Amino acid sequence: MPYLPKMIVGAAGFAALAVTAWRSHAAPRVAYVFFALTALIALVLTPHQPTALAAGIALPWLAHTATRRTSA
């Protein structure tokens, strides 16, 4: 399976983002749930499109709430 290293690295990175956001309370709950879901999707599905879609939902959500927190 040529995708295995990319799947493992992607899952580890998104899992690390989810755990860091959860433990530091730097992100809203929805963002780290999406990061954890993205880590699971990266492990289960071989193509990168579903993983990129889930990350594409999590990262803008995190950016939107971060700008809302800093501007208020």
Q: What is the pLDDT of residue 18?
A: 86
- Res. 71 pLDDT band, cuts 50 70 90: low
Write out pLDDT tens, residues 27-65. 778 888 888 888 888 888 877 788 888 888 888 877 777
For residue 68, give every residue at least 6 positions away whose Cβ sits within 8 Å of its Cβ, in sequence order, or none.
Answer: none
Kind and range of the H or E element at 52? helix 49-71
Residues ≥6 apart with Cβ < 8 Å to 61: 28, 30, 31, 34
Q: What is the pLDDT of residue 69?
A: 62
Q: Where are the domains of the chain?
A: 4-71
